[in-house]
Amino acid sequence: MNEIVFFINKGLVSGLIIGSIYALGAIGVTLIFGILRFAHFAHGDMMTLGAFVTLILSAALAALGVTLPVPLAFVAMFPAMVITAFIAIGLDRTFYKPLRQAGARPVVLVMASVGVTLMLQGLIRLFAGVRSRDMFIDAPKEIFRLPFPGASRPVIITEPQVLLIGFVIVAVIVLHWFLTRSRLGKAMRAVSDNPELARITGINTNHVVWATWIIGGALACAAGTMLSMDVTLKPDLSFNILLPIFAATIVGGIGQPYGAIAGGFLVGFCETLAVFNWSILLRPIKDQLWFEVPTSMALVPTEYKLMVPFLILIIVLIFRPTGIFKGRVLA
């Protein structure tokens, strides 16, 4: 039974956590692609930036002597999401909008976003240094140990992980409601479907672009904060998960928010299960097996974890180029 607990802890919980982070990031990337028609490479650094905003706000709360039943960082995350959303709109106005208005091709915008990536990374290092920081300013991380029937070891889940899962569920419900029920959400889908017709119909493209950056920026901040609460906050934290996020976006179908969520979890679970040491699950039945169970039986060594999203990506692009949910085909 302990083996199953180990599988839950190292396989399912880890997959769920990293999948949630990927999903939050991929929603933003896919919406930006759907509306603005370019791959936003600076999304990872928008996540890091959002996490730093949260850190500053929670430090301010701690300095004011605020104590709350949940981690300060989680509470500070909500105003930080608003601030990051505004920063995202500001970045768009300063760097992307002038290019769009000049009629630049999508690849030019992609290059511009690579430039924004470098700029953000530089700025974050300039003001915050390179060391890693703990998001838990007021109190250490709370860890829940849930007893599992028939096992001596407990299922371990930390407080930020519980908050993350709860947040993702709420975010997905709110996003679904927004896209299918609200006037602006439907207009976003309309612009994503057919921008020219949307303009003719009188849909205000500016509002739609703002909504896109607000959702993308806010969710990026949440993903960055939650990721740094789960591990630690480093300047290059989110940049490293940019590639799995793009893989999740493409696997789910470019421009499809529900696809991004599905893709996020798919990539997250594939990654963790590929590096999971399966020999542990075989150990209890090793006497019945015809072969000797090796000590390590992971499909992929941990160092090559980043290879997994690429493998999924290649398989999807060969067999279903539009992604799981029918999205755009990369031209």
Q: Is the dihedral of CA 45, 49, 51, 55 positive or negative?
A: positive
Q: Which is nearer to other proteins, 104 or 190 (CB)?
A: 190
Residue 155's contacts (CB-CB under 8 Å, 6 or more residues apart) are: 5, 8, 9, 13, 145, 146, 147, 148
Q: Does 302 bind other proteins (CB under 8 A)?
A: no
Q: Which is nearer to other proteins, 227 or 260 (CB)?
A: 260
d(CA 272, CA 257): 23
CB of 300 to other proteins, least distance (A): 36
Q: By CB under 8 A, which span of 21-29, 181-189, 294-302, 306-314 interacts with other proteins?
A: 181-189
CB of 6 to other proteins, least distance (A): 43
Q: By CB under 8 A, which span of 46-54, 123-131, 138-146, 198-206 interacts with other proteins?
A: 198-206
d(CA 233, CA 52): 8
Residue of 3, 327, 19, 27 whose CA lies nearest to 175 = 27
Contact 292, 317 (CB under 8 A): no
Q: By CB under 8 A, which span of 21-29, 64-72, 194-202, 306-314 interacts with other proteins?
A: 194-202
Q: Which is nearer to other proteins, 131 or 183 (CB)?
A: 183
Q: Which is nearer to other proteins, 204 or 302 (CB)?
A: 204
Q: Does 205 bind other proteins (CB under 8 A)?
A: yes
Buried b (16+ CB within 10 A) or exposed e, 193-213: eebeebeeeebeeeebbbbbb
Of 203, 218, 226, 233, the one binding other proteins by CB under 8 A: 203
* Phi, psi at 40, each rounded to 5°: -90, 95
CB of 71 to other proteins, least distance (A): 39
Angle subtended by helix axes 43-63 and 242-252, to nearest 10 = 120
Q: Does 97 bind other proteins (CB under 8 A)?
A: no
Q: What is the binding site for other proteins (CB under 8 A)?
A: 183, 186-187, 189-190, 192-194, 196-205
